[in-house]
Structure 1
Amino acid sequence: MNIREIQEQDNQDVEQLIRTCLIEFGANKPGTAWSDPDLSRFYELYQKDKTQYWVAVKDGRIIAGVGIGGVSGFPTICELQKMYALQEARGTGVAEQLLEVSLAFAKQYYEACYLETIHTMHAANRFYQKHGFQKLDEPLLKTEHFSCDAWYMKALQ
């Protein structure tokens, strides 16, 4: 397995990864990543300063991914974005590797990392808590992801 930065030719595979996971968890609905207009252009989206998206590749297939992006109005806080892993990749340590790579990048530019998820994604919520993310009572800001109902923050310094 190899972790690398997203490449332009990965756009369709990353979109398929995310949509597959959203369907699995019943999150293929408005107010989640399902409705994001840029879901098919992650390479272009993550070319801005202080942003990056990584993919985990096994046997030539993208099996997981994660991004770091800024949070509008909060210059010292980034967001852990679009962290998804196919069922076959879960429990293999790939999520820990992706989290480590993404937070190492984030520490270069930000003081804290925020994320939004859905409370019914039980394993994901446990994973974030296990890795030092503290549950918040409300979102940091209102976003287009109004179906997300679990929010976390982690200090990076």
Structure 2
Amino acid sequence: MLQIRPVELQDNSKLAETIRTVLIELGVPKVGTAYADTSLDFMYETYRASNESYFVITDGNRIVGGAGIAPLANYEGNTCELQKMYLLAEVRGLGYGMQLIRTCLDFALAAGFEDVYLETMPYMKNAQRLYAKAGFEYIDAPLGNTGHSACPIYMLRKL
């Protein structure tokens, strides 16, 4: 049985390995994407403020995915970003992605955000369908400056 819970300090190395495995599998560029983020190896420390959190999906002691919420970088407004949402292939399509998004949206709402923004890759069609099903809509231009210049698909959801 898979479980969703907040990231813990001891998750850092396993989580970074899981995320990099998914990024390599999907052929994501190593520059201009989450792959290059220095925070990838320090997810517990990165999501410590009261208005941000990262959640992992576990299968026993194994991390099979995760996603986070944090204020949108370099943006004036009450908008957060759905960040680093990645699941191993073996758990995709089983409903855990939607559960993870709902967990993140619930957190964002409780933290007082009004909108949730995300960026993704054009070829990640299944992820885009999941985001749309969760209420995200495409927008024409990026918001803020996430540093992910290689991600040209932008979506936004009102809370």
TMscore range, shorter length: over 0.9
* Equivalent residue letter for 1:79: E
Distance of 1:22 and 1:7 partners within structure 2: 22
Gaps (5+ residues) in structure 2? none
Contact 1:64 1:85 in 2 (8 A): yes
Aligned residues: 156
* 1:136 is aligned to 2:135: no
CA-atom RMSD in angstroms: 1.0
Match for residue 92 of structure 1?
A: 94
Contact persistence 2:141–2:154 (CA under 8 A): yes
Cross-structure match for 2:60? 59
- 1:59 shift after superposition: 2.8
TM-score computed with the length of structure 1 as normaliser: 0.95
One-letter amino acid of the counterpart of residue 22, structure 2: C
Offset of 1:96 from its aligned partner? 1.0
**Structure-2 residue corresponding to 1:7:** 8
Render the CA deviation track for 1:43-99: whole Å, top value 9, x for unaligned: 000001200000011132111101000013334100000000000010111111111
SS at match of 1:14: helix
SS of 2:40 mapped into structure 1? coil
Q: 1:16-95 counterparts in 2 under 5 A?
A: 16-72=17-73, 73-95=75-97
Structure 1 residue 13 displacement after superposition = 1.0
TM-score, length-normalised on structure 2? 0.94
Runs of 4+ aligned structure 1 residues displaced above 2 Å come to 72-75
The one-letter amino acid paired with 2:117 is Y
- Does the aligned pair in 1 maintain the 2:33–2:149 contact within 8 Å? yes
Identical aligned residues as a percent: 41
